[in-house]
Structure formats: C-alpha cells, structure tokens
Amino acid sequence: MTYRIGIDIGGTFTDFALFDDRKREIITHKALTTPSAPDQAVLEGVTALTALAHIKASDVSMIVHGTTLVTNAVIERRGTPTAMIVTRGFRDVLDIGMEQRYDLFDLRIRFPEPLVPRSLRFEVDERVVMDGSVRRPLVLDGLTEQIKKAIELNGISAVAVCLLHSYANPTHELLVVEWLQKNFPSLRVSASSVVFPFAREYLRWTTACLNAYVQPLVDKYIDRLQHGLAAAGFGGQFLIMSSSGSTLTPDMARNFPVRMLESGPAAGALMSARHSRWLDQPQVLSFDMGGTTAKGCVVRDHVPLKRYEFEVGRVHEFKRGSGLTIKIPVLDMIEIGAGGGSLADLDARGVLRVGPRSAGADPGPACYGRGGVEPTLTDANLILGYLDSASFLGGRMKLDINAARSAIELRVAKPLGLDIALAAWGIHEVINEDVAKAFRVHASERGIDYRHCNMIVFGGSGPVHGVRVARKLRIPRVICPSGAGVMSAFGLLASPLGFELVQSQRQALATMTLERFVQITSELEARVRSQLKSTGADMTQSQVLFRLDMRYEGQGYEVEVVVPQSPNAQAMGQLPELFAKAYETIFGMSFNDRAVEIVAWKCEVQGPIPGLDAVYRLRTMTNSQEALRGHRPVYLPEDGGHIECPVYDRYALAAGATVNGPALIEEVESTCVLAPGDVANIDEQLNLVIDIGGI
C-alpha cells in the first residue's frame, strides 16, 4: 500500500486525508458536505485530493470512510418502511419499552415513536424459553398474506425478525429468515439473534428494527459510492468505519448498518489514543468540535473507553432515556450540540442560548454567504477576530463579516441591549460553558479526575475553543496536533479491520468447568471469525480480546471484566479476583462471600493496526518561511475588548519554537486561539503543546 485516503463526512464539512506511506506524508482537503447527496462531496473531494497529490485514483490502494448517514436517517426518519415479525403476545414490547420515565415531574413527557408502527408488527406462534428449549414449535400460518399486504399497501422493503429468547436458541428466527428469503427475496431481513444476541428483548428488538430500517438506504449509498469510485479509477480496498473503533468491509456494513451509528466520531477518539501513546500520556480527554457537534471521550491506558449501549434520536437533546436505546459496541463518547454552525437565539426567558440546532452545510452560517440569516458560533468567532475572512480554509472560502454582523445584531445584540462584540463573546462563552459542563458530568460519572488529564483538541472548531474549555475544567495542558482540523480523517486510516459479538449466556462461576469456559469462548470466537471470513477479509494476523459481563447473583446490572490472556485454566482461576477488583473500583467495596455469575460473553477480533509505529508529517502548502504573519484585532475579555494580536503561520513554526499568548496560530483547516498567559511549545512531531496560564 502506497497511498491511502480517509474521508469523514460531518454535518457541515467533509474532511479528507491522503497518506503517502512511502514518504510518510499527509495531504489534507476540506469541503462543504452535500446533505442531500453526501456521496457527491466524497467523490468530488477524492478527485480534488488526488489532483493535489499529483496522482490518479487508480494509485490509491485503500479508502476508509466514516459517515453520519445512519444517525441522520434515524433522527430525520428517512429510513425505509419496515415490518417486524414477533412472538405472539409480544407485539407491544416496542411501545412498552423499559417502563421508565426519563423525567419524573413532566406530565407531558414524550418518547420517540418506534421505527416499526404497530400495524406492521406481525405475530407468529412459537415459544423458546430462557434456557433455549422449545416449548411451542414455530407456525407461520397467515404470514404470507400479511407480508404481501404490507408490501402492496405500505411499501415495506425490510423486515426485522424478533422472537423471544432467540439469543439462547436462534433456530426459530433463522427459520423465519430462511422462509422470507425464499418467498420474498427482494426484502432485506435482520434477525435479532444475528444483529446482537442480547438477553433483554426490548433493547435487542429495537436494535434489530433499526438495522432493518436503514439497510436498504445503506445498500444504495454504498453502491453509489463504490460505482462512483470505480468510475474515477479506484480499484483498491474500500472500508467503512464502525462505532466501535474498527473498520468494516462493505458487505459487513450492509449486513450490520446499525454499527455505523457513530462512524465518524469514533475515528477521532482513536486518533487521540494514538497521540496519547506517542506523547506517553496514558490518560487524556479527547475533544472533537466540528461544524455541528462536539464530542468528548476519555482515553485510559491509551485506549478509548467503550460501552455497549447507545441512544439515538432523543426527544430531549440532553435527557438520557428520551431516545431509542440501541445495543452495539461503541466508543464511550459524549455528544454535545455545539459546533461552528450552532444557531444562537433567545429562549422564552430572554436568555441567550446556542445550539443544539445547527445551520449545517446548507445554508450554513450567515458569513458563508449561502443564504443563512440566523447567527451562529462561526459568525461570532469571525466578529471576535478568531477567524479571518480572507484566510478561512486557506483562502479558498471567503467569509462575509458584514453578514455575520447583521445576523448577530438583529437576533442577539439588539434584543439584549449589547454591542455586537459583546454579543458575539456571549455566544462564544455559552458554548465554552456548555462543553465544559458536559465534560464534567461525563468524566465524573466514569470516576475520572480530568484535572490530571491532558486534553487533545481537534476538529475545525476544537482548537478555537479548546484553551478556554480546558481553563474552565482546570486542565493544565492542551495538545493541538498538526492537521487538527481534519484529525478524524487521520483516525480512519489508523483503524484496524475487526468485528465484535456479545452473547448473553448466564453461567455461575461456582459450577463452571474449564471445558465449559473454553467451549463458550471458542464457539464465540468462531462466530466472529466466520463473519469476517464471509467478507473475504484477510485476518491471518489478528488479535483476540475477550471481555465478560459479571455480577453478584441476584443483581440487575453487570461489571465488565477483561480476560487478561487466552481462555485457559489460569484465566478462569483469575476471574473471581478480577471481578472483585473491577467491582471495588466502581462501588468502593466488594463481597467475597457472595456468589458470582457471568451474564454476557464478548469477543473482539481485530486485524493489525495500520502504521502503528510510523510517524507521518503534514505536507504543507505554504511558501512562507516567516512564522509571524502579522497582527489583527482580536476580542479578549481579559483586556476589555479588541487588541492587536499576533497571528502565526502554523506551518512555518519549527520544532522547539515557542509562542506566548495572546496569539492566533493559523492552519488551513482551523485556528488555535491562545489566551493571555498561555504558552505553546512546538514538539518534535509539530504538535502544539499548550500550557494553560494560571493553572
């Protein structure tokens, strides 16, 4: 492999990175996303990027893609009409949900509508009990007419098969899948026992329904991309980022599109983990802020934290439990509706609020000159002087500062009785506080003292806000990597091919034999490898990781335990001690006299990590040898208003250089803002290592 391209589609911009593995160089590109046809921006960007590198698409050996397609399809309800086949008597599980209110005091509480309406949920006679035995055989009488009618009247093109206790015995589900494929071959079918064989039926069935709901959409999208790339001359390997930090082949993505929910953001967290290793900082806080959202993730021991439950399509943006809960392996990130396109207005109390609504890429902020009239964070940052109308995206995209002034004056400054600069600072500071508040909760819930972390900032808006957010969190040091504005695209090219399965199966430690332990783990690993092998993926060099969800018998929640080695007698003997330590870490105590059981088994198989030990340098497009570009007025509250602030060319700063704040350090995709008292040192890898003043 010589040339590889990473492509990350965001809500406002699509980021591109081309890795030259021979020269160890990176070329970057950034273009506005095309929301109505996201593949259009991808294909146009690949053409532009290969032209910058003076190569052809046929020279590229690999393209890795991260997308928000699945998330947006669920939020905007743009999936395909979907039917559901369910055990008789359990048709209403999607409506009953978890029987939990996310707000005890709101009498008008709303929940998201299920993806499959009740009229398209078809019951079948069958019953598998929790130990996997069959109490009532499967009967499909009348199902043919129901499916035909749903196709004719409702236009369904996908079906989710969700039967009771199929995680313990999937036979009935697989028989229904086989019957559907034989009688209705045009339908896409998702079986809950295949998508995620988890014990709790509401979560398993919601996950399977979402998988089916977006399958036809993802099929068409991947087809358009593959055909478009082939027409451009690309004949290499095409991979798609999953939410768990591994990449999927197109066939795997078609079969498990639900795993693409957090496709792009996961890549940024992975790249933060890579930087933590290079910088010898085991624990860091990853802060990614783009045009639409901001994401935070804790990296511990050079590995992003992971979880197996994710909410999408929340009715209330920041209220847990108000969305559709999905069971997938996903990096443990918090997402905040804060980005360059976040819209600013006044709430019912007349108080300034910013986000979570976003101007997106179309029409975008007012200063983009594409028809937007509402004020955004980018408009505020332009007025504050943090962004420059002439040098945005390296000068390729001119910003209209007068349009930004008009939008903020009309919608914010006049109603609040403020001058435009102070109103713009209010917008900027509200976002800083919203991000800091979200990070405080996220880190504290995981027992992380972020004051002892370094923060890695990236994304188009991350370096603009990172220093201010870090100061609020009392984080002493911020690292802004080279090429921070497109770092998620870098992470796509540092992600291994892999797949993970979680199997619910209760097993008491007291009665578990070594043979049983080895049997369960071996069968699970075989299933994971079978999924990878079916796509033609080469996994001859791979690593296997087992995790177990364990609890004291009688408890309703589990603690994850990592199996430190291959499943053998020694590993099995360590489980009680490992569980006690994990439990004590979370709850402060453990109970040696209580019986322990395993409730879920997790197996992840990953291929080699691309370029693990290689260090790449950004190929810069500047001809300037002078680091100091000049000065421009920048709003600094510490100095009471606008002052003349030095502006530096990021690409002309050599290793060992030092920049004292206040200062602006500009690169093509972003600008790093240093406040008074901050000191930035450029390390050997050309990262900006910023020590926050006063901490």
314 alpha-carbon distance from chain centroid: 16
Say what percent of the chain tops pLDDT 90: 55
- Write down the pTM of the prediction: 0.87
In the chain, CATH 3.30.420.40 sits at 3-74+220-260
pLDDT tens-place string over residues 33-58: 887 788 888 999 999 999 988 899 99
pLDDT tens-place string over residues 530-566: 888 876 666 777 889 999 999 999 888 899 999 988 8
The single residue listed with the structure tokens 């972003």 is 670
CB atoms within 10 A of CB 530: 11
| Alpha-carbon span 429 to 391, nearest angstrom | 24
Ranges 220-224, 318-322, 411-415, 668-672: which has the least confidence: 318-322
> Whole-number mean pLDDT of the chain?
89
| Alpha-carbon span 694 to 299, nearest angstrom | 25
Give the residue-averaged pLDDT of 91-117.
Answer: 87
CATH class for the domain made up of 79-213: alpha beta
In the chain, CATH 3.30.1490 sits at 498-606
Give the residue-averaged pLDDT of 149-173.
Answer: 95
In the chain, CATH 3.40.50 sits at 79-213
How would residue 634 be classed by pLDDT, with cut points 50, 70 and 90?
very high
Choice between 475 and 321, residue whose per-residue pLDDT is larger: 475
Looking at residue 183, its pLDDT comes to 95
Contact 219, 70 (CB under 8 A): no
Cα distances (Å, whole numbers) of residue 271 to 29, 236, 303, 329, 493: 18, 23, 10, 18, 9
Which pair of structure tokens corresponds to residue 691? 């020590």
Parallel, antiparallel, or unpaired for β 342-346 and 352-358? antiparallel
Looking at residue 624, its pLDDT comes to 58
Contact 217, 76 (CB under 8 A): no
| Alpha-carbon span 463 to 265, nearest angstrom | 16
Cα distances (Å, whole numbers) of residue 441 to 202, 435, 444, 559: 27, 10, 5, 20
Which pair of structure tokens corresponds to residue 82? 């979907």
The single residue listed with the structure tokens 């499909």 is 140
3-class SS of residue 128: strand
pLDDT tens-place string over residues 356-375: 888 887 888 999 988 889 99
Ranges 19-23, 303-307, 441-445: which has the least confidence: 441-445
Adjacent-strand bridge partners of 3? 20, 60
The CATH architecture of the domain made up of 3-74+220-260 is 2-Layer Sandwich (3.30)
Whether pLDDT at 623 is above 60: no
| Alpha-carbon span 560 to 445, nearest angstrom | 16
Report H helices in 80-160: 93-96, 143-154
Phi, psi at 292, each rounded to 5°: -120, -45
Out of 3.30.70, 2.170.120, 3.30.1490, 2.60.40, which CATH number does the structure's domain 498-606 have? Answer: 3.30.1490
How would residue 317 be classed by pLDDT, with cut points 50, 70 and 90?
low
3-class SS of residue 458: strand
